[in-house]
Amino acid sequence: MDFPALLARTQTMTPAMLLRLRELVEVESPSEDPAAVNRAMEMVAGWAVELGGKVKRHKQKGYGDVYELRFGPRSAKRKPILLLGHLDTVWAHGTLKTMPWREADGKIYGPGTMDMKVGVMMALTAIALLKELALLRPVTLLLNPDEEIGSPVSRTITERLALESAAVFVLEPAQIMSDGSAALKTARKGIGNYRVAVHGVASHSGVDFERGHSAVLELARQIERISAFTDLKSGRTVNCGVISGGTRSNVVAAEASTEVDVRIVRAADAKKVERFFGSLKPFDKACRVTVTGGINRPPMERKGGTIALFRQAKKLAAQLGFAIDEAATGGGSDGNFTAALGVPTLDGMGAVGAGAHASHEHFVVEHLAPRTALLAAMIATAE
Ligand SMILES: [Zn+2]
């Protein structure tokens, strides 16, 4: 592969990529609005067809549709590469009014720019490059409508396509390190969500205090116990992030609950966490404790196939003229599902930027061409 030529060609394609990206960003697509997400999907599907892609639309109820876009020759010998993207964003309709597409100091700002509409455009550009160079192999670009809300409907499709693929590249943004460099993600924590509810016995705090069994007091005790499930040494964190309960200060509370976020590094920890939550018993026998939820994203552990992909990326990046490192993150992505199935998965293959889910969300333009060229080279060379 002629790396300087590949990079130069990517650079000449970048302005056109940015024009289309702007169109895509200006179609607001919050996860909660299926029609809006589908408008963004249709736009990208149209561009995919221009590239010779085949579109398969998996219709969903209550969510946007899942789009499976296939490119390249069908080959019995060579397994496809699965590129994982999503077109839903965390941004509500109207966000563009206060947070419009804006270019300043080599950065492009706007809702869903970095997370991850630019990643999807990088994928289309990489496919166009490989087509030009007659290096296109079977590639599946999967666009999910529900990543920002935990991938409830796309998960099974992601998993099925991963199992038929040689490798998975996740188009989520790169990880910014403390020295400012941007690393690929070779490990992600698994995520669990629990809700612990306490049902106590209400009473008048003045007239009938002793008859009451406070759900608030019981929950406070439970929170101490739940928080102690944290074990920083093994990377397990348990955060009671939301509490609610009670009605008025003069009522002994009948109800209280907490919403808990759990992060784990090792898959084996999932069982342990389930056991912990299953073992919760009321301190006050007159109160009842109910637990719902569980681990919904297994951790992406740093393992063989993923390490090999990272080494390859490092080598190719060097040939393209930049250094690249690897990192672990506490955040989850659809890569958690594919890595947990044992399919080699490399994450953070999207843009370099900052401010995901924040009002300063942006990506850095100068990294766009090198990272897109890297993505193309990785697709071409993965086993
Ligand atoms: Zn994302």
Specify the pLDDT at position 383: 81
Band (237; pLDDT cuts 50, 70, 90)? very high
Question: Distance of CA 335 to CAs 86, 141, 159, 347, Å?
Answer: 12, 14, 10, 7
Q: Give 2 Cα–ligand 1 centroid separation in angstroms.
A: 32
What is the SS3 assignment for 10? Answer: helix
Band (1; pLDDT cuts 50, 70, 90)? confident
Q: Give 321 Cα–ligand 1 centroid separation in angstroms.
A: 27
Mean pLDDT within 281-294: 98
Specify the pLDDT at position 63: 98
Q: Give 330 Cα–ligand 1 centroid separation in angstroms.
A: 14
φ/ψ of residue 51, rounded to 5: -90, 5
Q: Who's near 191: CB < 8 A, 6+ residues apart? A: 261, 262, 263, 295, 296, 297, 332, 336
What does the pLDDT look like over 319-367, one tens digit per residue? 999 999 999 999 999 999 999 999 999 999 999 999 999 999 999 999 9
Specify the pLDDT at position 355: 94
**Confidence check: pLDDT of 76 > 80:** no
Specify the pLDDT at position 75: 78
What does the pLDDT look like over 152-182, one tens digit per residue? 999 999 999 999 999 999 999 999 998 889 9
Mean pLDDT within 296-324: 96
Q: Give 171 Cα–ligand 1 centroid separation in angstroms.
A: 8
Q: How crowded is the C-beta side of 5, counted as CA atoms within 13 Å?
A: 6
Mean pLDDT within 64-86: 94
Q: Strands 139-144 and 107-109, how do they pair?
A: unpaired
What does the pLDDT look like over 6-51, one tens digit per residue? 999 999 999 999 999 999 999 999 999 999 999 999 999 999 999 9
Q: Give 20 Cα–ligand 1 centroid separation in angstroms.
A: 19
What does the pLDDT look like over 101-147, one tens digit per residue? 999 999 999 999 999 999 999 999 999 999 999 999 999 999 999 99
Tokens 């930027």 correspond to what residue?
353
Q: Give 115 Cα–ligand 1 centroid separation in angstroms.
A: 4
Specify the pLDDT at position 7: 97
Question: Distance of CA 324 to CAs 123, 154, 304, 367, Å?
Answer: 19, 30, 19, 12
Q: Give 138 Cα–ligand 1 centroid separation in angstroms.
A: 24
Across all residues in the chain, what is the average pLDDT? 97
